Chains A and B, each alone.
Chain A
Amino acid sequence: MNLYNYILQQADNTLILGQRLSEWCGHGPVLEQDIALTNIALDLIGQARSLYQYATEIEGKGRTEDDLAFLRDVWDFKNIQLVEQANGHFGTTLVRQFFFDVFNFHFYRALQNSKDETLAAIAVKSLKEVTYHHRYSSEWIIRLGDGTEESHQKVQGAVNDLWMFTGELFVPSTADQAMLEAGIGVDLEKIKQLWMEKVTAVFQEATIRKPEDTWMQKGGKEGKHTEHLGFILADMQFLQRAYPGAKW
């Protein structure tokens, strides 16, 4: 059960963030960035599929990747609250992306050494993609932070608003704890340090101020979510819910 939950945490993170990013498709600030955001969405949803497929195998109840994505309700989703937050403007999206990408990069890097061969293989493949994502979002934080007065204020505002959702990245769930002990999962304490170093360095170059220590939201990994997730699911799951058992 711990392994299953552990896989779902990451699968749900990547699916929900991919779903959010895909809302940009056709509405980006410039064609090249429209394409880039869609690329990242494609990678993340692709990662979610690999992880869900593995989770169904571990679960062994004959469910499919689509059952997991489309037929669970809010309380069963284990993504962190950060990834379900609204897109806002391009700067909000990029700040949310940057916070997650830095985590995701170090997460997969460490997961490559997992004792679980399937997870290690998924990590190797995903790391190639995430290396690019993490470079892309870092560059945009710098560009927007150190761009115009307006872009600086917009990014600083988004950082201030989203900061309280970053704490949860490093709060170990029961599954995180058990998988770390089993040599399957990653050490979130170590990732926290690496994450903080990278975020500090990028903020410095972007002339963005790191928010003061504040209350951190948490609970996503245990199925406690913000109001956003219900709407995401209502939208995403519509056809599977309206026509049970239909093949598409």
Chain B
Amino acid sequence: MKEITLADKFQAKIDQEIKIEPKDWMPEKYRKTLIRQMSQHAHSEIVGMLPEGNWISRAPTLRRKLGLLAKVQDEAGHGLYLYSATETLGIDRETLLEQLHTGKAKYSSIFNYPTTTWADIGAIGWLVDGAAIMNQVPLCRCSYGPYARAMVRVCKEESFHQRQGFEILMTMMEGNEAQKHMVQDAVNRWWWPSMMMFGPSDGDSPNSAQSMKWKIKRFSNDDLRQKFVDICAEQAQILGITLPDPDLKWNEERQHYDFGEIDWSEFWNVVKGNGPCNKERLDARVKAHEEGAWVREAAMAHAEKRRKRKEAAQVA
């Protein structure tokens, strides 16, 4: 009987847009859903450092090098806030990392694609960060307080990244034929994976209805995807590139762009681990963690030595 009352009170708070805070009662399933979603998000930020990090050493100008370094560093920062926010749900970072390293936890599949030219850095900023912002802005109003607050900071930086990406592509489109070719090639490769970032269609998305009720999620996958297409179709014209979808066209009646069928078999294939870089990305994270073990141990050992010396000094 008591459990029902708590659950009712909880849902009433959510309905009234009152934030749920770490010490508040919450259904176990709400906690688990948030841990899964927030840790996936944190993992995506740190795995997402790798494809872009790939071009830091080769950035074409000093200004671009600083821009990219700062951007990838922002992602590390987002990972940090998100791990901290997830820890408020009663799980520690070490456990979360272990879940990533053993493949138990997922991260966004988009980062399992390779960055083969400099234009990929622009395309990631424009399309991948663009799609991420669509997904993330509503999370600033998520019912769980720590997640919502972390997302406010994340979104501010993401929108800067998106503009930076667009500007990289714009500059290249004003350049020589090889640069224009690079941009079109990058957009061809990143368009469909970016469309998949919104997740399966609403009918095939098992957790959506519950997450909507809990106000973890505010808009459906398909609605967000449509919004993304509408914006990108216009921006593609400004850039002077073609989005690789022959079915993409304005629908006067719907007041939206129509677009082609997404190849969900590719999506599920990459989720299952068969993307071009799944193994490489995970190996890189595991390697950094394992090779860093002695550093983390040394820092702990040194802190312990200091603590003991301080204690000894106080006794004396």
Contact yes or no, B299 A147, CB < 8 A: yes
Contact residues of B between 29 and 71, Cβ < 8 Å to A: 46, 49-50, 53, 56-66, 69-70
B178: nearest residue on chain A (CB-CB)?
A243
Contact yes or no, B292 A29, CB < 8 A: yes
Report Cα–Cα, A52/B63, bound state, in Å. Answer: 12
Contact yes or no, B76 A38, CB < 8 A: yes
Contact yes or no, A66 B49, CB < 8 A: no
Report Cα–Cα, A23/B57, bound state, in Å. Answer: 7
A235: nearest residue on chain B (CB-CB)?
B57
Report Cα–Cα, A91/B298, bound state, in Å. Answer: 11
- Out of A42, A147, A247, name the residue touching B69 (CB < 8 Å): A42
Report Cα–Cα, A236/B69, bound state, in Å. Answer: 14
Contact yes or no, B61 A66, CB < 8 A: yes
Contact yes or no, B56 A22, CB < 8 A: yes
- Out of B64, B73, B83, B178, name the residue touching A42 (CB < 8 Å): B73
Contact yes or no, A33 B295, CB < 8 A: yes
Name 7 extra pairs, CB < 8 A, besides A22-B57, A91-B295, A154-B294: A22-B56, A26-B76, A26-B288, A30-B295, A35-B80, A48-B62, A66-B61
Report Cα–Cα, A142/B302, bound state, in Å. Answer: 8
Q: How large is the interface on A (under 10, 10 to 19, 20 to 34, 35 or more residues)?
A: 35 or more
Contact yes or no, A45 B65, CB < 8 A: yes
Contact yes or no, B57 A29, CB < 8 A: no
Contact residues of A between 84 and 137, Cβ < 8 Å to B: 89-91
A248: nearest residue on chain B (CB-CB)?
B60
In the assembled complex, which residues on chain B have CB atoms less than 8 Å from the CB atom of A239?
58-60, 118
A37 smallest CB distance to B (angstroms): 9
Contact yes or no, B178 A151, CB < 8 A: no
12 contacts between A and B (CB under 8 A): A19-B57, A22-B56, A29-B293, A30-B296, A34-B76, A35-B80, A38-B76, A66-B61, A90-B291, A146-B305, A148-B297, A151-B297
Is A144 located at the chain interface by the 8 A CB criterion?
yes
B300 smallest CB distance to A (angstroms): 8
Q: Give the interface centre of A52, A66, A70 by most chain B CB atoms within 10 Å.
A: A66
Contact residues of A between 210 and 227, Cβ < 8 Å to B: none
- 7 tightest Cβ-Cβ pairs between the two chains A and B: A29-B292, A147-B298, A151-B298, A26-B49, A248-B60, A26-B53, A239-B60
Contact residues of A between 14 and 67, Cβ < 8 Å to B: 15, 19, 22-23, 25-35, 38-39, 41-42, 45-46, 48-49, 52, 65-66
Contact yes or no, B294 A32, CB < 8 A: no
In the assembled complex, which residues on chain B have CB atoms less than 8 Å from the CB atom of A248?
60-61, 64, 118, 168, 171-172, 175
Contact yes or no, B80 A32, CB < 8 A: yes
In the assembled complex, which residues on chain B have CB atoms less than 8 Å from the CB atom of A52?
62
Contact yes or no, A246 B288, CB < 8 A: no
Contact yes or no, A35 B73, CB < 8 A: yes
